[in-house]
Structure 1
Amino acid sequence: MDHLSAGRATVAVGVGDPKDRGVAAFGEQTDLKTRAAMLDEGLDLLVGLLGGDRVTHQGAHYRADGVTLRPAPVQAPRVPVWVGGSTQAKAVLRRAARADGIVPYKLTDTDEWADLTPDEVHDLVAALPATRADGEPFDVAVGGRRRRPDERAERAYLAELAAAGATWWLEFIKAGDPESMRAAVARGPLR
């Protein structure tokens, strides 16, 4: 994907939702602690592989014997890795500090969506190290819902998030009618 997108790909990882029926249906681990341990072990392995490094790893969940992904990535030092997760789980900050960015959300214990406030984004950014390992600032990708119908209100909210340290806004486009989905993509980002 890095080559097909001319260096615009990003990989997002997370523990996942163990309540997702697809997890168990495909024989994946459903125990949250085990999934977290797998993510912790796999994160360093993934970062090394996406950087084009030769990786040797013997762990509790994964093994790699001198593996190198080819072709080498377009992006340097590697394809960026963002860690997604609930801001209620402190581990998401620890994991994000080992990667390039964070895709935070909140309220994992309800079915309701709640936007992060600019103050919450500010606090999140303050909790991350000043820079990631390559000296660049962390990406903070906020969003995950449909765009508000009032574009002025949406622009004002996004400006507040950016001032608080957010670097990306992710808009949710519900799977469904292909024409509706294409229209949402063609509308493009708010500028």
Structure 2
Amino acid sequence: MQYGIVLPISGIGGSVDRLIEYAQAAEEAGWDGIFLEDYLVYWRDEGVTYDPWLTLAALAMRTKRIRLGITVTALPSRLPWQVAREAITLDHLSHGRVILGFGLGDPQDMHFGEVEKAKERAEMLDEGLEILNGLMSGQPFHYEGKHYQVKEVTFVPKPVQQPRIPIWIGGMWPRKAPMRRAARWDGFVPAKLPDENGYTEFQPSELREIKKMLEQEHKGPFDLVTGGTTPGDDRAKARELMEPMREAGVTWWCEFVLPEPGQEEEALTRIKQGAPR
């Protein structure tokens, strides 16, 4: 199992310089990945928001080993060919360390006339993923879809990672459509539909069920991604929490490091304490 940290792309995490500091500390502490949220206008802290793609480019230039990704980008709110060019460029800047994450998007982050109907956004997501995949091939590609059209074009250079940059799909569990979509790609980042207690973390039994369902649809290596918080000052307890996750088939644990304003030093301390290995 690999271990990443999830950082906010907003003012609650401090400045972009602070995010770079977090990334460098994470690499030095032995974490395996850094994953940014993606909002055009963050829903908290008066909307202070940074662009995740430009921020990841900065992180790529200031780190050497750690994987870099976004969990997750609302692909229907962006132009898939522009995302493809940005992702390929980032893969070269980082020498092949990028992981892409895509989903329908957060209804709270729609301010610019985006399509809001879930069915249409799902169609746009699926078409956008096909376009991304085709453009990353480095071969002549054209596409005729309901929402997008691409005249024949060749994107070069190809990504450093082949046959493509890994693509993870985010979606709400226990809805089946996101799992079917994820099974066509390289990984699944599930979130639980809220219950009477609000949003809650996954139980190992739920993750085993997700893993089983995905294995019925996907053959070969596949990432199952979940996350939460673990005690950085109690390694034994943290490892105890991780063992059921590993047994359930989780391949990436993403530690949520989402500091409130004024808690940046506490967040840095948690990162320096390292992964719950």
TM-score by length of 2: 0.60
Q: Which moved more, 1:168-177 or 1:77-86?
A: 168-177
Alignment of 1:33-112 (within 5 A): 33-108=119-194, 112=198
CA shift for structure 1 position 94: 0.8
Q: Which residue of 1 aligns with 2:95?
A: 6
Q: 1:79 to 1:131 in 2, by over 3 A?
A: farther
Contact 1:130–1:137 (CA<8 Å) still a contact in 2? no
CA shift for structure 1 position 186: 3.5
- Partner AA of 1:39 in structure 2: L
- Partner AA of 1:11 in structure 2: L
Q: Which residue of 2 aligns with 1:139?
A: 223
Unaligned runs of 5+ in 1: none
CA shift for structure 1 position 110: 6.3
Q: Which residue of 1 aligns with 2:254?
A: 170
Alignment of 1:151-162 (within 5 A): 151-162=235-246
**Larger RCO: 1 or 2 (CA < 8 Å, sep 6+):** 2
- Partner AA of 1:33 in structure 2: K
Question: 1:181, 1:47 → 2: CA distance?
Answer: 36
Q: Which residue of 2 aligns with 1:17?
A: 106
Q: 1:181 to 1:68 in 2, by over 3 A?
A: farther
Are 2:116 and 1:30 equivalent residues in the alignment? yes
CA shift for structure 1 position 124: 0.9
Query: Which runs of 4 or more aligned residues in structure 1 lie more than 6 Å from their structure 2 counterparts after TM superposition?
Result: none
CA shift for structure 1 position 5: 2.1
Instruction: Name the Cα RMSD after superposition.
Output: 2.4
Are 2:220 and 1:117 equivalent residues in the alignment? no
Question: 1:170, 1:51 → 2: CA distance?
Answer: 29
CA shift for structure 1 position 112: 2.4
- Partner AA of 2:255 in structure 1: E
Question: 1:126, 1:112 → 2: CA distance?
Answer: 26
Question: Cα deviations across residues 125-180 of structure 1 (Å, max 9, x unaligned)?
Answer: 11113685xx631101111x333465433322222111111100111221545544
Q: Which residue of 2 aligns with 1:127?
A: 213
Question: Cα deviations across residues 64-87 of structure 1 (Å, max 9, x unaligned)?
Answer: 122333321111111000000111
- Partner AA of 1:117 in structure 2: Q
Question: 1:188, 1:53 → 2: CA distance?
Answer: 41
TM-score by length of 1: 0.84
Question: 1:91, 1:75 → 2: CA distance?
Answer: 27
Question: 1:37, 1:30 → 2: CA distance?
Answer: 12
Question: 1:117, 1:181 → 2: CA distance?
Answer: 25
Aligned length: 185
What SS does the corresponding residue of 1:174 show, helix, strand or coil?
A: coil
- Partner AA of 1:155 in structure 2: R
What SS does the corresponding residue of 2:93 show, helix, strand or coil?
A: coil
Question: 1:160, 1:88 → 2: CA distance?
Answer: 20
- Partner AA of 1:126 in structure 2: K
- Partner AA of 1:4 in structure 2: L
Q: 1:185 to 1:83 in 2, by over 3 A?
A: same
Question: 2:201, 2:239 → 1: CA distance?
Answer: 14
Q: 1:181 to 1:64 in 2, by over 3 A?
A: farther
